[in-house]
């Protein structure tokens, strides 16, 4: 039985058992390059029934200027592979403009994907001796599309994904003068630049550079037979490239981005085995293959700069590793770049589990890169949520192997993203500081924790929406208010959105919590409250509850109602409202307190510098 058959049988078995494919199956699906097999997988997965809140349900509409055809199955398979539970809503053929103009996209999608082809932008007839006229028409059609998309965004809360369009050979080659051909090419590149520019106009628009992606992979873009016969402008191979990009965008918008990169050292971050060659014998920098390892380090450093937390997972003696990291002249990653350094002879799965505990992150936040198939296999078996990247084979491919799946993609970098590596390094240091105190309360007092609470500002809505998308554990109702809704609530007198920032003796944690509150008829209702797992166990949630009670009291509210809706990830928050002094009410899952008489629940070790 070949790998494909085994994978497809595994997907059929998951469908028959009415359960989502396992992380292992999903990762194998993500690694498939044969579009025909991915299409088959998508067809099988179309029969998968909804399975509750995990994996993350997502509704994706596809509107197309051409036939959607195989894109449906390819998109479904790639969305499942990235860890979502997709429902696809397919626009009818020939209704692209109409759907956007009416702003009525059925099925309340979370994301709308637009599948574009050249015929949308080109006139039926055009003159090869008037390339400027052609360019003007293309620009006018782009303006039409832009107007439709921006108007539609005002009527739907959905995010949009568009893509650039590869220049059609017929357009380029039916112009015989090189000068005019350059004019036509420039007009087409301007169209693609304008499409990419849409992403800067609204944070809910993402534009995938399909033309650029196709230039880097060995697949035919078009099959003229399918185009002429069925208005299918792209091959299955090209559509798979697009589907993967769209799935990456959806995963990033759904908060499924990975946060941690755990790296092996020998034959991964450097060539050779340190214990055998010594520091001076390592392959790093200079000519091939040392330049491959240095290129990987450069890319890893770039990821760290954008908020990816680095963990070392190496079977080595710690002393020589520390010396090599600190002193090797070609080393780009230094000891302080790693939040956790698990350099010892324990099993790597155990080390990664420990690193996850130290950082207070789930295994599903980790990507693990190692050259040893044994180590990768062991980690995959022990921690199935960890995404595994192979670093064996020719080191020239190391960078491509790490980056090709877009594990760390986010819609937009926030201030917290930029600070995250330092924050988590502080956290790891804090864990070390916690030994030597008589009680955990002594320790917490010594941390000198401050919680700064205030209504969210326009600069914070992005981070707050990101918290809503990414927080699974301390997420009291599971309702994920996106940036658009959060912004709207923050300026609405009937609502209050608050952000909560924490700092302590080790530094600023940034915004770690948020609350969305409705306030009508002197009754305040907490629609959701989320708290980053980074600050669990420090009583921050009670400081937040205390602040909300105080604001409700000041506003003269007669009741403050909290809610807890259990999901399969938020059991850590069960009982929170009662511990904060709220009483269960008749309505299922709700808890009430009278602000005027509520006692404080602010932990004694926390201060609010604004009320001090």
Q: Closest approach of Cβ 215 to other proteins, in Å? A: 22
**Contact pick of 7, 32, 60, 67 for other proteins (by CB under 8 A):** 67
34 binds other proteins (CB under 8 A): yes
Q: Closest approach of Cβ 17 to other proteins, in Å? A: 20
236 binds other proteins (CB under 8 A): yes
Between 41 and 469, CB nearer to other proteins: 41
Between 43 and 141, CB nearer to other proteins: 43
**Contact pick of 26, 28, 39, 425 for other proteins (by CB under 8 A):** 39
Report how far residue 552's alpha carbon sits from residue 596's, in angstroms, rounded to the nearest whole number. 8
Residue 214, token pair as written in the block: 């196709």
Query: CB of 84 within 8 A of CB of 254?
Result: yes
559-563 vs 590-593, strand pairing mode: antiparallel
Report how far residue 465's alpha carbon sits from residue 264's, in angstroms, rounded to the nearest whole number. 34
166 binds other proteins (CB under 8 A): no
Q: Closest approach of Cβ 67 to other proteins, in Å? A: 8
**Contact pick of 40, 244, 425, 525 for other proteins (by CB under 8 A):** 40
Q: What is the 3-state secondary structure (H, E, C) of 265-333?
A: CECCCEECCHHHHCHHHCECCCCCCHHHHHHHHHHHHHHHHCCCEEEEEEECCHHHHHHHHHHCCCCCC
Q: For the segment 474-533, give every residue that binds other proteins (CB under 8 A).
A: none
Which among 30-38, 165-173, 199-207, 496-504 is the span making contact with other proteins, rule CB under 8 A? 30-38
Report how far residue 592's alpha carbon sits from residue 589's, in angstroms, rounded to the nearest whole number. 10
Query: CB of 76 within 8 A of CB of 39?
Result: no
Q: Closest approach of Cβ 229 to other proteins, in Å? A: 6
Between 44 and 343, CB nearer to other proteins: 44
340-344 vs 309-315, strand pairing mode: parallel
Q: For the segment 534-553, give every residue that binds other proteins (CB under 8 A).
A: none
Residue 158, token pair as written in the block: 């959905």
Residue 175, token pair as written in the block: 């112009």
**Contact pick of 36, 151, 169, 217 for other proteins (by CB under 8 A):** 36
Between 68 and 79, CB nearer to other proteins: 68
Assign 397 to helix, strand or coil: helix
**Contact pick of 15, 43, 146, 422 for other proteins (by CB under 8 A):** 43
Query: CB of 160 within 8 A of CB of 204?
Result: yes
Q: Closest approach of Cβ 423 to other proteins, in Å? A: 48
Which among 36-44, 268-276, 345-353, 437-445 is the span making contact with other proteins, rule CB under 8 A? 36-44
Between 39 and 534, CB nearer to other proteins: 39
Report how far residue 163's alpha carbon sits from residue 212's, in angstroms, rounded to the nearest whole number. 10
56-64 vs 111-115, strand pairing mode: parallel
Q: Closest approach of Cβ 219 to other proteins, in Å? A: 11
Q: What is the DSSP letter of 134?
A: H
CA atoms within 13 A on the CB side of 266: 19
232 binds other proteins (CB under 8 A): yes
Q: How many chain residues bind other proteins (CB under 8 A)?
A: 15
Binding to other proteins by CB under 8 A, coded x per residue (else -) over 69-98, reads: xx----------------------------
**Contact pick of 98, 143, 230, 396 for other proteins (by CB under 8 A):** 230
Q: Which single residue is written with the structure tokens 């990414």? A: 470
Residues ≥6 apart with Cβ < 8 Å to 340: 311, 312, 355, 358, 359, 428
Which among 207-215, 228-236, 251-259, 388-396 is the span making contact with other proteins, rule CB under 8 A? 228-236
Report how far residue 303's alpha carbon sits from residue 310's, in angstroms, rounded to the nearest whole number. 9
Q: Closest approach of Cβ 223 to other proteins, in Å? A: 8
Q: Closest approach of Cβ 94 to other proteins, in Å? A: 15
**Contact pick of 10, 21, 23, 35 for other proteins (by CB under 8 A):** 35
Q: What is the DSSP letter of 586?
A: S
Report how far residue 175's alpha carbon sits from residue 183's, in angstroms, rounded to the nearest whole number. 10
Between 67 and 414, CB nearer to other proteins: 67
42 binds other proteins (CB under 8 A): no
Q: For the segment 100-139, give every residue that binds other proteins (CB under 8 A).
A: none
Residues that bind other proteins (CB under 8 A): 34-36, 39-40, 43, 67, 69-70, 225-226, 229-230, 232, 236
């Amino acid at each position: 039985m070949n790998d494909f058959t085994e994978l497809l049988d595994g997907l059929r078995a998951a469908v028959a058992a009415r359960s989502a494919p396992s992380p292992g199956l999903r990762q194998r699906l993500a690694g498939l390059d044969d579009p025909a097999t991915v299409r088959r997988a998508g067809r099988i997965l179309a029969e998968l029934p909804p399975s509750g809140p995990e994996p993350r349900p997502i509704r994706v509409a596809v509107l197309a200027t051409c036939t959607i055809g195989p894109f449906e199955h390819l998109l479904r398979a790639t969305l499942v592979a990235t860890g979502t539970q997709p429902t696809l809503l397919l626009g009818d053929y020939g209704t692209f403009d109409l759907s956007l103009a009416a702003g009525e996209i059925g099925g309340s999608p979370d994301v709308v994907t637009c599948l574009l082809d050249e015929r949308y932008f080109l006139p039926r007839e055009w003159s090869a001796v008037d390339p400027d006229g052609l360019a003007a028409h293309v620009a006018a059609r782009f303006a039409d599309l832009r107007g439709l998309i921006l108007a539609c965004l005002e009527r739907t809360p959905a995010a949009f994904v568009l893509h650039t369009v590869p220049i059609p050979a017929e357009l380029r080659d039916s112009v015989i003068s090189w000068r005019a051909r350059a004019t036509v090419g420039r007009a087409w590149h301007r169209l693609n630049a304008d499409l990419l520019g849409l992403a800067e106009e609204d944070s809910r628009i993402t534009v995938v550079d399909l033309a650029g992606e196709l230039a880097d992979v060995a697949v035919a873009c078009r099959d003229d037979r399918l185009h002429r016969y069925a208005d299918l402008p792209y091959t299955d191979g090209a559509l798979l490239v697009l589907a993967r990009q769209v799935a990456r965008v959806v995963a990033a918008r759904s908060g499924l981005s990975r946060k941690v990169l755990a790296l092996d050292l020998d034959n991964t971050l450097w060539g050779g085995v340190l214990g055998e060659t010594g520091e001076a014998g390592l392959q790093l920098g200079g000519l091939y293959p040392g330049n491959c390892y240095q290129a990987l380090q450069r890319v890893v450093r770039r990821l760290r700069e954008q908020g990816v937390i680095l963990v070392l997972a190496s079977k080595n003696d710690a002393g020589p590793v520390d010396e090599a990291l600190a002193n090797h002249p070609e080393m780009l990653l230094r000891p302080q770049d790693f939040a956790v350094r698990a350099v010892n002879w324990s099993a790597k799965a155990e080390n990664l589990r420990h690193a996850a505990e130290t950082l207070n992150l789930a295994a599903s936040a980790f990507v693990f890169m190692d050259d040893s198939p044994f180590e990768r296999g062991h980690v995959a078996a022990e921690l199935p949520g960890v995404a595994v990247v192979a670093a064996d084979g020719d080191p020239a491919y190391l960078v491509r192997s790490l980056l090709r799946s877009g594990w760390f993609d986010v819609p937009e970098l926030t201030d917290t993203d930029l600070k995250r590596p330092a924050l988590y390094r502080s956290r790891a240091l804090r864990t070390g500081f916690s030994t030597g105190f008589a009680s955990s309360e002594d320790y917490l007092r010594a941390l000198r924790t401050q919680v700064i609470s205030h209504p969210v500002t326009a600069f914070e809505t992005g981070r707050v929406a990101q918290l809503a998308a990414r927080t699974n554990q301390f997420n009291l109702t599971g309702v994920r208010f996106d940036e658009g809704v959060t912004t709207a609530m923050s300026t609405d007198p009937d609502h209050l959105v608050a952000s909560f920032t924490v700092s302590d003796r080790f530094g600023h944690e940034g915004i770690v919590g948020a609350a969305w509150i409705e306030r009508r008829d002197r009754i305040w209702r907490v629609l959701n409250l989320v708290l980053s797992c980074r600050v669990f166990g420090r009583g921050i949630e009670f400081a937040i509850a205390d602040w909300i009670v105080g604001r409700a009291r000041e506003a003269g509210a007669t009741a403050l109602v909290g809610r807890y809706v259990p999901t399969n990830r938020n059991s850590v928050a069960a009982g929170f409202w009662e511990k904060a002094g709220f009483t269960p009410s008749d309505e299922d899952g709700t808890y009430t307190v009278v602000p005027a008489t509520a006692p404080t629940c602010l932990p004694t070790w926390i201060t609010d510098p604004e009320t001090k």
